[in-house]
Amino acid sequence: MDAGAQRPLVEGLPGQGPPADPTTAVQFNPALLAKCWPPKLGEQDAPRHRSRAGASLRLVSKDARAAFDAACQEPLVYRLEQAGYEQEGGGRASPSQALGWALGMLRRGRRPTAVCIVDDEEAHPRDWQHSLLDLLRAIPQLSGSPGEAVSSLQLPPELLSRSTAPLIAGAFPNLASLELGNGHKLNPRACFEAARGLALLLGVRSAPEGGGSFWDMVCGDSWGGGGGAAWYEDGGASSDEEGAAAGSGYNVFAGGPHGERALWGVGGAAAAGAGDGVTVLRQHTQLRSLQFESLMLFGSDEGEPEWDDREPVEELTPLTHLTALSLRACAPSLLPALTAALTRLTSLALSYHSSNLPLSPSVFAPLQGLQRLEIPRTSLEVAELAEALSSLTRLSVGGFTLPAQELSQPLTSIPRWRLPAGLWELGLGIWGDFSTDSRDDYLEALAGLELPRGLCFDQESRADRFTLRPGRHTGFPNAEDELADELDSTALLPAAEEALCGALSFVRQHGLLKSGLRISFEAKEADRLLQPVGGAAGMGPGRPNYGRWLREVGALGLTRLTLKGICLSYQDVETMRDGLENLELLHFEPPCQLPPPALPLLAGLPHLKEVTLDATPWAGGDPASTELRDQVLESLVALARARPEGRRLALHLFYRGWGCASDRERVRSLANRLREQVPALEVSTF
C-alpha cells in the first residue's frame, strides 16, 4: 500500500503570503508543488528513493498532503511491506495502520483508477485478510465515492469468493478489469470457492464441480500456474437469482460509459482451478476476450498429428463469440484449427510463441476482421501478407522472411512487398535478445519493404542481425558458365550486396539499431570466408572490396560491430577507420580474417576500447604460421603504440580450435610477448 507515514503534520504560517520569488512561491503552494512534482507512490518497479521523495514532500503540511493525494495519478497499492517504506525507522506496517493510511488518502481526495492488492499474508495472515475486507466495506461509505473512479483491480485469488464478490461490486461499481494474482498455491477447495466467486461476477449460474483438462493446463503447477481473462459487453441483467440478490452477478460490470468489460487473470489459478472453467465461459455467451499468459498448446512444427495435443484446442474452439484471444504459445499445426473456429477475433496474441519455421499469413486468413496480431518471437512470411491481413492496424512480429522455396534460390533481385494499407503501428524484433543465436533479420525482406503512409514503429523495434548464406547470397553471377557452382562460391552476389545496403539504410531511416550490429556469413566449412562482389578480383587496391556496405554501416553511427565469416582487405579496414568514428567495440568473430599490416589502422578509431581478433590462422606450428605470428605481433605493437596517450584498449585473441593444445599455447605465448612489449595493453586469450 502506498500510504503516508505517521509523522506530525506541520501547519502553514497564518497570514503570510508566498514570497515574490517564483521558485519559493511554488514551494509554498501545495497545489502547484503537487503538479510540478507529482508523487510516484505505488510504482512497484520504481526505485525506492522516488517513492520516498514523493512521500517526504507530502509531509510539509496538511494542505500539502491533501494536494499530493488529490494529484496522484498512480494506482493505489495496498501492500504492508510497501507501507513500511514510508514508516519512520523502516520496518513493516501493521494491517490496521495500512488500512488507516489507505482510507486517509481516499478521504483527502485520492481518486485512483486502479487498485492493486498484493498478497502479504506471510506477515499477518488473518489480520491482513480482515483489513482488506474492512477496506472493501468502508470504501462505499466514504464521501466523494472514491470507488467509482476505479476501473481496474488486482486481487489475490484467495479473496475472490461468493461472499466477497458483493463487497467487490459495492466498492468498485464501475470496475472494468479484474486481475487475479499468483494463485498456483491454492488448494482445491480455495480454487473452487474462487471459481464460484468468478461465476457470480460473470453472471453464470454456478461453477460446476469436477475438473477439466483445460484448467488443469492453465492452473497446473508444471508452468507455475496459469492465468485467464474474460471481456464482455453490456446486454441486460443477470439471470442468476443468487447473483441478483447479492447485487453482483452480471450487473456488477454492467455500468460504465464504454459498454465493454474485462476480467483479467494473470499468473494465477484464474480462480477456476477446481471447476470446469470452460463450462463457465461457454455459459457466458457475451464473453469477448480471453487471456491465458501461461497456456501453451503443444504440437509439432512439422504438422505430425501424433505430436499434437488437441484436447485444449477443442475446448477453446466452441467459444466462437470471442473477439480477442491471448495465449503463451500455440504449435503451428494447431493454429489453423483455432483461426478457423474463432473467426470473430479482432485481436490475437501469442506472446511467447517461438518456432523454427516462420508462420504463413494464410494461417490468419479466416480472421477477416483481425486488427491486432502479436507474435513478437516468430517470423512472418511476407508473401500475400497485405491481402491475408488486410484489416490489420497493429502488428508485433519477430521478423519478416520470404517463403522457404524462394530462399533456397540465388538472389537475383530484391523482391518488393507491402504491409496492409491500414497498418499504423509495427513492432519489429522487440524480443530480439530472447534467442539471439537463432534470430536473424532477412536483409532482402527489409530491403524490399514498402511501408504504408503514416506507419509508426514501436519504440522498442530493432533490426541488428543480418546473415549472409551460401547459395542464397553468394555464387557466380554468370549462370551460363557450366563450371560455376553457386554453392561452392563465396563471392557476394550483386543483388545480395544491394539487399544488404538497402536493409542497413532501412535500419538507419527508421531508428532500428538499439545497440550493436552483427553481420555474418554462415558457411558449413570454417575456412570458407565471404568475398566481395567478383570474388578475389574484387579485392585489393583500387577495387570495390566491401566499401559500399561498410559505408552504410558507418552511416548508422553505431558503437558496437561484430563481423563473422568475412575476409577483409587492407582497403576495408581503411574504410572502417574513416567511417566508424563512434565505434567502441569491434569484434572479428571467428572465423574472420584481415591482413596484419592493416591492424595499426584501427588506432585511428577515436573511441575504440575493445577489439577481438581471430587468432586461429596464426596458431599453427608450420613456418608460414610462425612468420604470420611475427607479423601480427609487430602490427599489434604498432597498434598499441599508435593509440592516443591515456586511452584504454583491451585486446582479445580468440582461438576457435579445440583439439590442439600446442596451438593454444602458441596463442598464449603471443599474448605474453605482446604484454612484455606493451605493458599498458590489456590482452586476453580465449
* pLDDT, tens only, 34-45: 555 544 443 333
Percent of the chain with pLDDT strictly greater than 70: 67
The ranges assigned to domains in the chain are 1-144, 151-297, 328-463, 465-560, 595-686
pTM across the whole model: 0.71
For the segment 675-686, the average pLDDT, to the nearest whole number, is 88
**Mean of the pLDDT values across residues 383-406?**
93
Lowest mean pLDDT among 322-326, 447-451, 535-539: 535-539
Average pLDDT rounded to a whole number, residues 173-190? 66
HSE toward the beta carbon, residue 100, CA cutoff 13 A: 8
- Condensed to tens digits (0 to 9), the pLDDT of residues 457-479 reads 999 999 999 999 999 999 865 54
Highest-confidence segment of 179-193, 280-294, 373-387, 527-541:
373-387
Region 90-106 average pLDDT: 78
Mean pLDDT of 397-426: 93
Q: Is 15 left (phi over 0), alpha (psi -120 to 50) or beta?
A: left
132 or 187, greater pLDDT? 132
The residue that leads in pLDDT, 685 or 239, is: 685
pLDDT at 396 over 70: yes
CA distance 599 to 581: 16
Q: For residue 250, what are the contacts with CB-CB under 8 A and spacing of at least 6?
A: 202, 203, 236, 237, 238, 239, 240, 243
pLDDT, tens digit (0-9, with 9 covering 90-100), for 467-519: 999 999 998 655 444 444 444 589 999 999 999 999 999 999 999 998 899 99
pLDDT reported for residue 497:
96
β-pairing, 456-457 vs 449-450, is unpaired
Pairing of strands 465-468, 517-521: parallel
Report the share of the chain in percent with pLDDT over 90.
36
Q: Which of 81-85, 239-243, 418-422 is most confident?
A: 418-422
Q: pLDDT tens-digit profile of 241-285? A: 333 222 222 222 222 222 233 333 322 333 333 234 555 566 666
pLDDT value of residue 286: 61
Q: Which pLDDT value is given to residue 430?
A: 81
Could you tell me which residue, 279 or 239, shows the higher pLDDT? 279
Listed range (198-212, 335-349, 418-432) with the worst mean pLDDT: 198-212
Q: Is 158 left (phi over 0), alpha (psi -120 to 50) or beta?
A: alpha
94-103, 134-143, 244-253: least confident range: 244-253
